[in-house]
A = this chain, B = another copy of it.
Amino acid sequence: MWPLLRLRNVRHNYNGRTVLDIAELSVSAGTITGLAGPNGSGKSTLLKILSLAARCTSGTVYLRNRPVLPFDPEAHRRISLLPQEAYLLRRTVFDNISYGLKIRGQKNQFRDSVAAALELVGLDPSFAGRFWNQLSGGEAQRVALAARLALKPDCLLLDEPTASVDMESARCIRRAILLARREWGTTLIIASHNQSWLDDLCDTIIYLYNGRILECSLENVLLGPWLQNNRREFYKELADGQFIHVPPPPHPDSSAVIASAVLKLSGAPSGSSRTLTGTVSGIFFDKHFTEPRIHIVCGDHRFVACVPDMNLNGGDLLPGRTVTLSYQPEDISWLEK
């Protein structure tokens, strides 16, 4: 079976500046894919291209191996996007949610669909009669999502669906997403900065950085600039006065990425390894990893490390305890600029 969506050699420019450059990306039908990355890394641009809402400067989008363009008669109505800044039509909530059904030629009987969509996003049915400008920020965001859910699309792309949404509603949206996949077989691609929400929901997560897909995750990213000491070692000083040492960076401003597996909890430095001391701020369970993960704050910076079960002795790792991390500078990799 072909992947539902596939990008090849896609590149997108704004005013001549390349903001997206993806050689190859496939999304299989029925999966939930997360999209993570810092501001400006190209998540929204990628979602617009994948949803055929915009055309990439160069490259091809395939839908089940067929190249497709915006307004493709077949694909157009099966893929839906919740843009980051969704526009609400200057009408009632009811009209907003039923709009997509109406333009699909569906006749009347929107009432049930609209009520069902509102319930999915955790809004009271009485909201249907409200006007677009009588909503709070989070309510508007949820109405926009409801308008997409009402369409029961084959493929749904969500750009920051939980921005300015309360925690209870974020859980509600999570349930709606899982329901969409289960009941309608919807394939989902979701960009979000709510890392734990995303981790919890998605089958796979794609990390974007400067318009490129990263091979690793973006757990511990340290921005430049990097200094050099008189032994020609590169380092950066953290806010609490500790130093972190790195291999020679490609550029003094490059960003270093330290995979959580690189940071060991064995306190004593051995050979060429270096150490960092910090305070545990939390321990998590993340379904993408077999081991629990621990957050350690060093000065201003929060590091994520893996906790092999054998390392757990008593309550040593509970929040508030001080621990020592060790790492090999050579294991630190660099992000392309």
Contact among B168, B292, B307 for A38, CB-based, below 8 A: B168
A134 touches B285 (CB 8 A): no
Chain A 130-170 near chain B by CB (<8 Å), digits 1 or 0: 00001111110010000000000000000110011111111
Contact among B134, B142, B319 for A283, CB-based, below 8 A: B319
A169 touches B39 (CB 8 A): yes
CB-defined contacts of A160 to chain B, threshold 8 Å: 137, 163-164
B175 touches A40 (CB 8 A): no
A151 vs chain B, min Cβ distance (A): 23
Considering only residues 1-38 of chain A, those with a C-beta below 8 Å from chain B are 14-15, 37-38
The complex is assembled from copies of this chain, and their number is 2
Interface stretch of the complex, out of A74-82, A95-103, A268-276, A310-318 = A310-318
Cβ of A67 within 8 Å of any chain B Cβ, yes or no, is no
Bound complex: CA A283 to CA B315 (Å) = 12
A19 vs chain B, min Cβ distance (A): 9
CB-defined contacts of A279 to chain B, threshold 8 Å: 285
A176 vs chain B, min Cβ distance (A): 12
Cβ of A217 within 8 Å of any chain B Cβ, yes or no, is no
A318 touches B142 (CB 8 A): no
Residues of A within 8 A of B (CB-CB), count: 53
Q: A280-B285, A312-B315, A312-B318 are in contact. List 4 more A-B contacts (CB 8 A).
A: A39-B138, A137-B160, A165-B193, A307-B318
A320 touches B138 (CB 8 A): no
B175 touches A193 (CB 8 A): no
Bound complex: CA A249 to CA B211 (Å) = 52
Considering only residues 24-58 of chain A, those with a C-beta below 8 Å from chain B are 37-40, 43-44
CB-defined contacts of A193 to chain B, threshold 8 Å: 138, 164-167, 170
A82 vs chain B, min Cβ distance (A): 12
A136 touches B44 (CB 8 A): yes
Bound complex: CA A150 to CA B15 (Å) = 28
